[in-house]
Structure 1
Amino acid sequence: MGGQKFAVLLCADDSDYVKKIYGGYYGVFVRMLKEEGEDWDVFRVAKGEFPDENEIDGYDGFVITGSCNDAHGNDNWICKLLILLKKLDAMKKKVLGICFGHQILGRSIGGKIGRASAGWDIGITKVHLNPSNIFTYLKMPTSLSVIECHRDEVWELPPEAEVLAWSNKTGIEMFQCGDHILGIQGHPEYTKDILLHLIDRLFCRNLIEESLAKDAKHKVEASEPDREAWTKLCTSFLKGRL
């Protein structure tokens, strides 16, 4: 479906490694999602850069990235992002939220979010898919492995939202609201090397203990994420093929 236009709402600072290898997190998402004939833009919302009101209608869909910030916080840019998401919801624009993006989407539609009761989930996690038409249509298996790196989660969703997946650590790994909002707690866009560098960054900043860092690296080396299936799911949703 060439000719469509999408925007990445970038909620994180690019690490030097991701900037050098992938052209930043925007480049990571474009590499996974962009198809021939499409236009992709980036708005660095964490730095206060938002699309103008008259620009929004020109986009077919939006992707919200992960972030080091808490989606349950009230930083000025987060509050501004919530206003934008409510507007996109009202316009029925396609919105795909990843990790922080998943959580802030849940908050924007009236859900409850906060610190995960089970603590950090870092590594490659098996996510169990609840019965849903979208998985039947895409011929998905009953579970998929995905790269995870989060300590917050969506606690609760409003009745109009459907929980699509869960894991042993997280009750809401994926949700859908209408046919235009999709949240995924994991990182389908990440490669294993991105996660390994991120683990080192978290450890150097004293955000995780050495034992957790070592355990997470072991998990990463021991298994593989189902990147092809996740890419198919994300592109099919975002581009209206479901």
Structure 2
Amino acid sequence: MGGGKRFAVLLCAEDSDYVKKRYGGYYGVFVEMLAEEGETWDVFRVASGHFPDEDKIGDYDGFVITGSCNDAHGNDVWICKLIALLKKLDSLKKKVLGICFGHQLRNSQLEISYVINLNLFLANSILGRALGGKTGRAISGWDIGVTTIHLSSSSSKLFSSLKIPATLSVIECHRDEVRELPLKAEVMAWSEKTGVEMFRYGDHMMGIQGHPEYTKDILLHLIDRLLQRSFIADSYADELKANLGKVEPDKDAWKKLCTSFLKGRL
């Protein structure tokens, strides 16, 4: 049914005990959202230095970059190595879906000084950085909760066959953002707080600032962890928890959107 395709999750964070126990780690969360019958899904814990062999990259039909606790504008050894891998994937025109951290990565060779940070698939951020965009701390601070994003008219056209509404709710948890897109990249969605919620680079790379893979219980767990580490105040944590019951994320729509892009069905 999946045509025997092969995909890889590039895991940019350590699994918490809670997510390991409940979902089998963040890898399990992504597989639950994206995997279909007949496909093979592998995981590479890139934050721990585990990368795919260069001669095996061509074996994969697509890659997913997860969120991370690290800054997409950092220069840790593994982040620089991930940027190099993303450039390689771009040259091969491999499908890449970046979530939050994956959305924000910038191209360190094209950008000498730090300018921008985008919080996606931060995968959206790392992707933006790798392609030459600019990422950095969001001026508006933390964006946590269920956020309404607006698709651009071109995005609505692209996703027309999926019958995706023009506005979608998605779980957000980031304080970095993409401030400037790579050349030739297109803004696909925005929100009141974040100007680049999604972007597309060619037909093969897409970054998402939010977390379409998250469930509300994962977000509640993250809020508690941020509170324990004094990243957010008690009053803000209470406010976030009180607001969580008001809006549901559009998980089914995001699943259709992400799988269709990653698997070339648009």
The letter of the residue matching 1:125 is T
TM-score (structure 1 length as normaliser): 0.98
**Partner Cα separation in structure 2 for residue 159 and residue 84 of structure 1:** 19
Listed as ranges, the gaps of 5+ residues in structure 2 are 102-122
Identity %: 72
| SS in structure 2 at match of 1:222 | coil
**Other-structure match for 1:197:** 221
Residue 182 (1) aligns with residue 206 (2): yes
Letter of the 2:10 partner, please give it: L
- Counterpart of 2:86 in structure 1 is 85
Q: Secondary structure at the match of 2:241?
A: helix
Shift of 1:209: 1.0
TM-score normalized with structure 2 length: 0.90
State the partner residue of 2:72: 71
Q: Over aligned residues, Cα RMSD in angstroms?
A: 0.8
Deviation (angstroms), 1:144: 0.1
Alpha-carbon displacement from aligned partner over 1:213-241 (angstroms, at most 9, x marks no partner): 11211222211000000000000000110
- Write out aligned runs for 1:23-34 (5 A): 23-34=24-35
* C-alpha contact (below 8 Å) 2:62/2:95 kept by paired residues: yes
Is residue 157 from structure 1 mapped to residue 158 from structure 2 by the alignment?
no
In the TM superposition, what is the alpha-carbon distance from 1:137 to its structure 2 partner? 2.9
Question: Which residue number in structure 2 is paired with residue 116 of structure 1?
Answer: 138
What is the DSSP-based 3-state SS (H/G/I as helix, E as strand, rest coil) of the residue aligned with 1:215? helix
Equivalents in 2 of 1:128, 1:95: separation in Å?
22
* 2:132–2:183 Cα contact (<8 Å) kept: no
Query: What amino acid does structure 1 have at the position aligned with 2:134?
Result: K
Contact 2:9 2:64 in 1 (8 A): yes
Task: Number of aligned residue pairs: give it.
Answer: 242
Q: 2:181 is aligned with what amino acid? A: L
Q: Give how far 1:9 is off.
A: 0.1
Does residue 146 (structure 1) correspond to residue 170 (structure 2)? The answer is yes
Distance 1:115 1:45 in 2: 23
- Partners of 2:86 and 2:163 lie apart in 1 by 30
Once the two structures are overlaid, the 10-residue window that deviates more, 138-147 or 120-129, is 138-147
Corresponding residue for residue 39 of structure 2: 38
Q: Distance in 2 between matches of 1:24 and 1:98?
A: 16
Tell me the amino acid that sits aligned with residue 251 of structure 2: R
Decide whether the 8 Å contact of 2:67 with 2:100 is kept in 1. Answer: yes
Q: Match of 1:103? A: 125
Distance 2:128 2:259 in 1: 20
